[in-house]
Amino acid sequence: MILTRETMRILMLVCLVAMVLLAVFFLRTRRMSLRSYIAWGLFALLLPFLGPFLVILSHPGKSLPRFRKPRSRRRGSLVLL
């Protein structure tokens, strides 16, 4: 397969869209106002390759109850088989 200029552009666009979709799906799991949701979504779009990672790493808003991980009662315990 020969990578032409157009093929590289299409692959880069597909990667960009996939990263923005990941950031948007992550934002759906957070509790925040519509204004905040739009602002973080625009941040992910306007910073093409770094924006989605920064949105996910910054954890904006509060986590919705259905997406919270249950806390384990056995912290630090060692189970031997």
Which domain range does residue 49 map to? 19-62
Q: Domain for residue 50, yes or no? A: yes
Q: Is residue 23 part of a domain?
A: yes
Q: Is residue 73 part of a domain?
A: no
**CB burial readout 7-43, b (16+ within 10 A) else e:** eeeeeeeeeeeebbeebbebbeebeeeeeebeebbeb
Residue 2 lies in a domain: no
Burial class (CB in 10 A: 0-12, 13-18, 19+), 50: exposed
Q: What is the distance between the alpha carbons of residues 78 and 55, in angstroms, rounded to a whole number?
A: 35
pTM score above 0.85: no
pLDDT, tens only, 22-72 = 888 888 888 888 898 888 878 777 777 677 777 777 777 777 776 656 665
